Amino acid sequence: MNLRWVKRISLTVGFLLLVVHGIPWSLYQFGLSSFSKMPDKPARLISIRDQQALWDKAGFQGAPQDQKLNPVSYILTADQMPEPMTLFAGRIAAHHFRQSGSAINPAARQLAVSALTIWLTRNWSTTEILSSVAELEAMLPPPEPPAVR
């Protein structure tokens, strides 16, 4: 193989790496720009027992597990069932978006919520995420009893 082919292959690989990593990270930054501020951390952290109860209530097995996402892994696993912590962080992100997001179309909304979901898993602990979800659940009205026929 001559030097010319090595150079072409190197440039091609470099370009592909730039595309594969650069575009997701750019979209992540763009999505985060929809928020003037990030969500506040929970006012109170819940106990390990309460974390486990929330985890079990959501139907997950074992102990709560930490998960750190990045834009590339988020995109590469988009066709799979999300990890539990992604689902919990997504709930916080969606709630925060409803409170303060500024996207004007569904695609921009999805990008913003996805970016914030990634940000939460990277910047908050498992305890903080689960505590925030517990706060969100406490704000929900109680479920209505089933209608009697």
Residues lower than pLDDT 50 in the chain: none
DSSP 76-136: HTTTSPPPHHHHHHHHHHHHHHHHH----SHHHHHHHHHHHHHHHHHHS-HHHHHHHHHHH
Q: What is the pLDDT of residues 45-56, one digit of tens each?
A: 999 999 999 999
Q: What is the pLDDT of residue 85?
A: 93
DSSP class of residue 58 equals: T
**What is the reported pLDDT for 142?**
65
| Assessment of whether the complete model's pTM goes beyond 0.95 | no
pLDDT score, position 101: 67
Q: Among residues 31, 37, 45, which one has the least CA distance to residue 118? A: 31
